[in-house]
Structure 1
């Protein structure tokens, strides 16, 4: 039977061949692009939705971003626990169906509350997709290939973040926001059965050569204690979260900064920022995993040193953004996203590789919750609070000064990553699989 033909959805004990795994990654990239595109599609619909439904900016902000973040944070750990015990394939397929239905609900919304329910459904679908998909990649690719595989997987997020607003903006002008949302639901409905019918579950730990784990399921508290006992993980997760705080603090205030400091119109700033963020993150994600796998063969600490270096370099480039001329702001933003993207796949590979295979989805969920709460939640708020605090002294320049103060976050993030690197060798050895031969894939 060819690798890409539909298989019985039963976890096997033989690592699939590269043809199947390439098909798997291709589908996962498309699914990831779908959910990210659905999430960010609304940024180009703010004004028509606001006018038609009579909403305030605060209500739009709640529906566009906050409700997704709240539902995502609440749902991700329970759904990750389910993924560790049940079928990752089924959860990913169901999640794609959920967010596709949710997009239709948004398109049919006649009131704020229906719109809010639809956006909450997108958050639920995203929360159900993230942990099992990344753990599934770890189940299929040996440790020495894992960061490369995760780099390919992460391209889906970059693609969706770019294509959702780009195609959506054109479609809204041509067909209106309601029809655009209906059209946008189609990819998820197409991909869900493809996941269900052509992919198959893989036993956790198979790619690492780990034996089948038997026994009753482990409680969440016991799992959390096991994860916190891995000395590399707490400082590593906190370092990644502080890096996210710095990144999101800068990105969320970028258009306002260039408008206040350099007089650039918001429309021009938005276009330049979108291109810089997409190309920077896409290149960084593409290069980061293979580079980490290459350097990691010489010293496994490179998987963590890349995060440490990205935090330090982001601080330096951030200073150049804030003190340089206006025409360099967005090229430097793109460079910052490239450097930050280099560390994304290695970070996920380390988290997935250090924890017990039965707890991978839960560990990834804990990482994502920390990044969401500290980074996406704290970064924009911290910069805004500092700007208000400094306004009596600096006036319209207070935002730039606040962003300079926020750069100090790069210092503890770099130190924490260095601390994590001191423990990683012993933790890698205890986890097993890092020095052993990769399991042989099936020959098809």
Structure 2
């Protein structure tokens, strides 16, 4: 195991050293998450050339990146979580990476909407096995008090994946074709899938949460874990608040490039450089900062798990409205830096809260349930809604239908802030009860 055991027999703490194997595991799992999100985002990054080649509408694009993808991604995550809680989690991640990478290659070979839809659903099927087991593996490699930062680093996968997808996907598409971008990135994923079992060892479940020499935790029952998760108001509200937030992040993320190209005048080469930098620095900086802030402020109060996302989303709203309004793409891109940095504080907060609040043998399933709720709401509704709204507005406003559709996401910010404030109230109440019990 990677962490040095504590001689006193107590569970390791935030001061316990973290060994090299933990960082190797985190690094490789992070890279797999990069590929996970890169493959997922290619469709939105290359939306315009795909539309031109396959003659599909904004509404169909929304279904491909939204409901069709989310249905498989969310619901397959539950049996995958059950399997990973009972088998080798590293093997599950490796197999999942191989499936979604092969399906990504199939996207590049698609000749019509039906073939592309089937390939995208298979990508969702494979990606469902990547994140929940990885959350638990990272948690079992890092001691309490170090997990916010570790999960914050892991959750840098989406911004780096999105940025690399923008940079390399747009560059390959500009130099060759959008099909080559899907095939090339799928090949990289297959290579990583084969290498993973040789580089990452399965850590003992709950080994850093129990006294040295204590027996390993028993396997948690499937339905018992489901009942536990949905009977805990804080866990359900964290998942629901995150899902509402993801309506914004996925709704915007799936159409931002198309919006900037079609209505603001960007080219693929502009996207490959400038939009990639905004996503890498903005989203990456926001997720990393949120992990650091979580570790710092949750030592004082658990309410920070909810207050940090609430404050960040409230600050993001005026920047988002200004981005949608901006008359030129350079100004729009500069304003987009605000929401890109601030929109993702919820992710590390909710993941760390759920992983800390459940038993070690329930972590994979609980992570899968968190993803089920928040992704089915956010991923399922966000892109599907924005695409349908754009098609609706296009009849009367063909030149700025996406702008009008994106404006309609502004009330969702208010709803998300209110839900996180409600969660902060519940967490404060739980903390008070725990103090009274002592």
The reply to whether TM is greater than 0.5 is yes
Specify every segment of 5 or more residues in structure 2 that has no aligned partner in the other structure, as ranges.
Answer: 4-10
- Identify the residue that residue 442 of structure 1 maps to in structure 2: none
Task: Check whether the contact 2:45–2:169 (CA below 8 A) recurs between aligned residues.
Answer: yes
What TM-score do the two structures reach when normalised by structure 2? Answer: 0.80
What is the 5 A alignment of 1:397-408? 403-408=406-411
Query: 1:173 & 1:387 partners in 2: Cα distance?
Result: 26
C-alpha displacement at 1:71, in angstroms?
Answer: 1.8
- Identify the residue that residue 19 of structure 1 maps to in structure 2: 20
Structure 1 pair 236–17 and aligned structure 2 pair: CA distance change class (3 A)? closer
What TM-score do the two structures reach when normalised by structure 1? Answer: 0.79
Say whether 1:318 aligns with 2:312: no
Say whether 1:354 aligns with 2:357: yes
C-alpha displacement at 1:274, in angstroms?
Answer: 4.4
Give deviations 1:92-132, integer Å, cap 9, x for gaps. Answer: 11112222332344455566655544433321221010111
- Identify the residue that residue 191 of structure 1 maps to in structure 2: 192
- Identify the residue that residue 161 of structure 1 maps to in structure 2: 162
User: Which structure shows the higher helix fraction?
Assistant: 1
Structure 1 pair 34–411 and aligned structure 2 pair: CA distance change class (3 A)? closer
Task: Check whether the contact 2:66–2:380 (CA below 8 A) recurs between aligned residues.
Answer: no
Say whether 1:264 aligns with 2:264: yes
Query: 1:92 & 1:431 partners in 2: Cα distance?
Result: 36
Say whether 1:36 aligns with 2:27: no
Query: 1:255 & 1:426 partners in 2: Cα distance?
Result: 43
Task: Check whether the contact 2:41–2:162 (CA below 8 A) recurs between aligned residues.
Answer: yes
Task: Check whether the contact 2:34–2:160 (CA below 8 A) recurs between aligned residues.
Answer: yes
Give deviations 1:138-196, integer Å, cap 9, x for gaps. Answer: 22222311110011112222222221242233334555555554432332233223321
Query: 2:390 & 2:108 partners in 1: Cα distance?
Result: 37
Query: 2:386 & 2:65 partners in 1: Cα distance?
Result: 20
Query: 2:399 & 2:100 partners in 1: Cα distance?
Result: 41
C-alpha displacement at 1:17, in angstroms?
Answer: 4.3
Query: 1:385 & 1:50 partners in 2: Cα distance?
Result: 15
Task: Check whether the contact 1:273–1:333 (CA below 8 A) recurs between aligned residues.
Answer: no
How many residues are paired up?
A: 420
C-alpha displacement at 1:3, in angstroms?
Answer: 6.5
What is the 5 A alignment of 1:87-106? 87-106=88-107
Task: Check whether the contact 2:69–2:380 (CA below 8 A) recurs between aligned residues.
Answer: no
Query: 1:245 & 1:364 partners in 2: Cα distance?
Result: 19
Structure 1 pair 163–255 and aligned structure 2 pair: CA distance change class (3 A)? closer
- Identify the residue that residue 136 of structure 1 maps to in structure 2: 137
Partner of residue 347 from structure 2, selected from 344, 347, 355:
344
- Identify the residue that residue 308 of structure 1 maps to in structure 2: 310
Structure 1 pair 111–394 and aligned structure 2 pair: CA distance change class (3 A)? closer
C-alpha displacement at 1:417, in angstroms?
Answer: 1.3
Specify every segment of 5 or more residues in structure 1 that has no aligned partner in the other structure, as ranges.
Answer: 5-12, 436-444
CA RMSD of superposed structures (Å): 3.9
SS of 2:373's partner is helix
C-alpha displacement at 1:333, in angstroms?
Answer: 1.5
